Structure 1
Amino acid sequence: MSEKSQKLIIQFLTKQASFVELEALSIWLENPKNEKEFKSYIKLNYAIDFNMKQFDTARSKKELQEFMSQELRIRPLRKIRKLSKYAALLIIFLGIGYLYQSNYFSTAPEFIIPPDSITLQLENGDIKVIHEDGSSDVQDAQGRVVGAQNGTQLVYSSSHSKEELVFNTLTVPYGKRFELQLSDGTKVYLNSGTSLKYPVKFIDGEMRQVYLEGEAFFDVTTNKKARFVVNATNLNVEVFGTTFNVSAYPEDSSTDVVLVEGSVALYNENKTSKEGVTIVPGTKGSFIKQQNDITTEKVDTKLYTQWMVGGLVFRNSNFEAISKKLERHYNVKIVNSNLELSKEVFNASFKEESIDIILNYFKNSSNLEYEIKENTIYIK
């Protein structure tokens, strides 16, 4: 199913579809193959199974007629034929229990968030889906515009005034990346499977603190009066103005900080920056979770920032760790039955190759056997 078709279905189910989009969906559903794909998509992603025996045809037709009556009051007459066609298609194709049982025509719809969506959680708890091919304003609880999204970038304004910290949370699913500019001009590049909580507006003169789960590259705006701290669960990364990469996935054994420019201090939650470890450019600082200790080593920083351009780099990585990165990068699930392979160590670099090319590399280098079924890779 194409991404465009999936988007139409999602907008229909979340009751966000425009009249034009409803018409496009009705035309698409005229193809029996598309009807079958529609049913499979709904069942797979929303755990809704269709049952014609439970469908109340009479009541659904009544609901549809009421819906049509409301629409015809505000739609031009030339739309009547199209609307009737759409209603007929709903009865034929979608009249299988879902519309009536889910109360589709209710004035208080339940919002369904697609699992592969980039989301923005606002200060009041509302969640907004970010469409990568769209643009929109970000508003606070009072309806004031505090930022704007354009494509894969979200930029917050520094012009509005805030007397207290108000946080937004941006979440990027597996298989996607996103860019964020904070109110002080700091740029953050979020990798797949990442969530960042940050203030809508930093308070002048006070510490600038954000909360990271996942991986992100920071280009921090210099402000000697307000230190910048990245809280990565049990590790704090403190800077004044610099560029660095933080990898803090909860399932990984360590939280890694790679410094490109400037200077940063690393310290755990029970210490201060003065008690922490300061690293210089070209250094990777790693907080080993099990040992509650910080180690450092010289590295080639380019190897740790290739993900920003779609690349993947593995250095002395066992296949178990590699599998986790592949799952995030390509939004797939990997089931590995080869226990010996899990501990095998590899060194490899890939640019924007497909998952098939990467799997073939491991197949040729370690006799790996695999099978792909839908979105799952089975390794034997």
Structure 2
Amino acid sequence: MKKDVKEVLDKISSGNYNPEEEAIAKLWLHQLHQHDEAGLSEQELHEVSDQMWSSLERNKKQSLPHKYRKSVVYMAAAASLALIISVGLYFNQQRPLAKSIQPEAYTNDIPAGSNKAYLTLANGKKLALTSSANGTLAEEAGIKITKTADGQLVYTVANQGGKKAAGYNSIETPRGGQYQLNLPDGTKIWLNSASSLKYPVSFAALKERRVELSGEAYFEVAKDKIHPFIVKSGRQQIQVLGTHFDVNAYPDEQLIKTTLLEGSVKLNEQVVLKPGEQSLLTGEKFSVKEVNVNDAIDWKNGEFVFTNESLTSILKKVSRWYDVEIKYIHNPVNMPTFTGSVSRSENISGVLKMLEETSNVRFSIEGRQINVITR
């Protein structure tokens, strides 16, 4: 929808604007910061930006004494005048106004993540599973390690009389990667992006099946009453006999989340989960709540599913899956929440457009950086 620059900025300075005009003003501010053709120095740009944000938030400041409100309005009027001049110069020099004020088109796009991982063998050899040929990769302690065409790493017993003592393997998915691992005991593990798992090559000579996780993984543990399965993830330890559950234990997250789909698990010898429950570990303290378990394993099912989820939380997931950096043009305040879903196979533009359609948040893509235009 075509909008006159002066008309919009006059409405912003007066406080009589609608959500669309507010979003357009924020977009212009962002574009001014991205180009020096506006004729303003970096300091002037910041001053104009801060004054305009003061105007946008004027309605929130009605409880201030009258003399301060008058000062805010005066600053906003000055900002409007500077922006009318600078935005007008920029748009006249760069492209037709009718096109420039539309929600910013993505000049480039970023494809979704895929099956990518690195395997480190017990002897220290590192293999890039993405580029390795399908078929047998190695054989250790009587265990054959095979890569399949559909993104799985499969461990099978190749020689019952093989060595009982065995070292550890580790598999690591980069940002923008995921992988499935099938252990020789029949346990299946799906690794989300930016995650790693350390595990014994063989469980044959061990009293327990112990693995170490960083990041997020979904487990379908094979039943074995004699050999309990232990998952160590940061400050949490999970003990299971046979069950299906998801663990989210990224180092940059404050919480460790464990969601149980089937069976039962014991956490740090303190908490026992039932199917449909999720534990949240903050520091050393657990809390438990009932959840929709499908929301917790949306990534395994190839989706992003958001239920009243904050924008910052969503963009962390987007950052890992698309291997991008997130930059907030302004410090995020009163971040919106979202409920919805979108396929993880979509290019990043598909996710960003969904978020834009349901809020005043706007995005731009610069290389592998996503700029978030919000206030």
Residue in 2 that maps onto 1:214: 215
Counting only pairs closer than 5 Å after superposition, residues 25-44 of structure 1 correspond to structure 2 as none
Hey, what's the Cα distance between the residues in 2 that align with 1:141 and 1:206? Answer: 19
Match of 2:297 among 299, 305, 308: 305
Once the two structures are overlaid, the 10-residue window that deviates more, 158-167 or 249-258, is 158-167
CA contact (8 A) 2:143 2:155 kept: no
- 1:304 is displaced (CA, Å) by 1.1
Counting only pairs closer than 5 Å after superposition, residues 332-351 of structure 1 correspond to structure 2 as 332-340=324-332, 343-351=335-343
CA RMSD in angstroms, aligned pairs only: 2.1
- 1:158 is displaced (CA, Å) by 2.6
Hey, what's the Cα distance between the residues in 2 that align with 1:312 and 1:347? Answer: 10
Hey, what's the Cα distance between the residues in 1 that align with 2:368 and 2:332? Answer: 24
The aligned amino acid for 1:125 is G
CA contact (8 A) 1:266 1:278 kept: yes
Hey, what's the Cα distance between the residues in 2 that align with 1:169 and 1:350? Answer: 31
Once the two structures are overlaid, the 10-residue window that deviates more, 336-345 or 151-160, is 336-345
Residue in 2 that maps onto 1:38: none
CA contact (8 A) 1:209 1:229 kept: yes
Instruction: Return closer, same or farther for 1:157/1:313 CA change in 2, 3 Å cut-off.
Output: same
Instruction: Return closer, same or farther for 1:183/1:141 CA change in 2, 3 Å cut-off.
Output: closer
The aligned amino acid for 2:318 is L
**SS of residue paired to 2:295:** helix
Residue in 2 that maps onto 1:15: none
Residue in 2 that maps onto 1:123: 122
The aligned amino acid for 1:200 is V
CA contact (8 A) 1:337 1:379 kept: yes
- 1:307 is displaced (CA, Å) by 0.8
Residue in 1 that maps onto 2:100: none
Note the alpha carbon deviations across 1:22-55, whole angstroms, 9 max, x for none: xxxxxxxxxxxxxxxxxxxxxxxxxxxxxxxxxx
Hey, what's the Cα distance between the residues in 2 that align with 1:180 and 1:359? Answer: 31
**Tell me, which stretches of 5 or more residues in structure 2 are unaligned?**
1-114
User: Is the aligned partner of 1:171 residue 2:165?
Assistant: no
- 1:204 is displaced (CA, Å) by 4.4
User: Is the aligned partner of 1:371 residue 2:364?
Assistant: yes
Residue in 1 that maps onto 2:323: 331
Counting only pairs closer than 5 Å after superposition, residues 102-117 of structure 1 correspond to structure 2 as none
- 1:361 is displaced (CA, Å) by 2.3
Note the alpha carbon deviations across 1:72-117, whole angstroms, 9 max, x for none: xxxxxxxxxxxxxxxxxxxxxxxxxxxxxxxxxxxxxxxxxxxx95
Counting only pairs closer than 5 Å after superposition, residues 132-171 of structure 1 correspond to structure 2 as 134-140=133-139, 146-151=144-149, 152-160=151-159, 161-171=162-172
Note the alpha carbon deviations across 1:279-324, whole angstroms, 9 max, x for none: 10000111113xx211110011111112113201223322222111
Hey, what's the Cα distance between the residues in 2 that align with 1:320 and 1:298? Answer: 23
**SS of residue paired to 1:339:** coil
Instruction: Return closer, same or farther for 1:311/1:333 CA change in 2, 3 Å cut-off.
Output: same
CA contact (8 A) 2:164 2:205 kept: no
Hey, what's the Cα distance between the residues in 2 that align with 1:376 and 1:283? Answer: 36
- 1:346 is displaced (CA, Å) by 2.5
**SS of residue paired to 1:154:** strand
**SS of residue paired to 1:201:** coil
Residue in 2 that maps onto 1:246: 247
**SS of residue paired to 1:202:** coil
Hey, what's the Cα distance between the residues in 2 that align with 1:315 and 1:132? Answer: 37
Residue in 1 that maps onto 2:230: 229
The aligned amino acid for 1:328 is R
Note the alpha carbon deviations across 1:146-166, whole angstroms, 9 max, x for none: 211112111112344343341
**SS of residue paired to 2:171:** strand
Give identity over the alignment, percent.
Answer: 31
Residue in 1 that maps onto 2:181: 180
Counting only pairs closer than 5 Å after superposition, residues 5-44 of structure 1 correspond to structure 2 as none
**SS of residue paired to 1:314:** strand
Residue in 2 that maps onto 1:11: none
Instruction: Return closer, same or farther for 1:196/1:205 CA change in 2, 3 Å cut-off.
Output: closer
Note the alpha carbon deviations across 1:169-222, whole angstroms, 9 max, x for none: 101112222110011010001111111111110134611000101111101000
The aligned amino acid for 2:317 is K
Hey, what's the Cα distance between the residues in 2 that align with 1:175 and 1:342? Answer: 29
Residue in 1 that maps onto 2:260: 259
CA contact (8 A) 1:245 1:304 kept: yes
**SS of residue paired to 1:308:** coil
Once the two structures are overlaid, the 10-residue window that deviates more, 119-128 or 159-168, is 159-168
Match of 2:276 among 272, 282, 289: 282
Hey, what's the Cα distance between the residues in 1 that align with 2:357 and 2:255? Answer: 30
**SS of residue paired to 1:309:** coil
CA contact (8 A) 1:162 1:203 kept: no
The aligned amino acid for 2:258 is V
Larger Rg: 2
Note the alpha carbon deviations across 1:227-251, whole angstroms, 9 max, x for none: 0011111101110001111111110
Instruction: Return closer, same or farther for 1:368/1:343 CA change in 2, 3 Å cut-off.
Output: closer
**Tell me, which stretches of 5 or more residues in structure 1 are unaligned?**
1-115, 268-272
Hey, what's the Cα distance between the residues in 2 that align with 1:178 and 1:164? Answer: 27
- 1:133 is displaced (CA, Å) by 7.8
Hey, what's the Cα distance between the residues in 1 that align with 2:358 and 2:287? Answer: 31
Instruction: Return closer, same or farther for 1:132/1:287 CA change in 2, 3 Å cut-off.
Output: farther
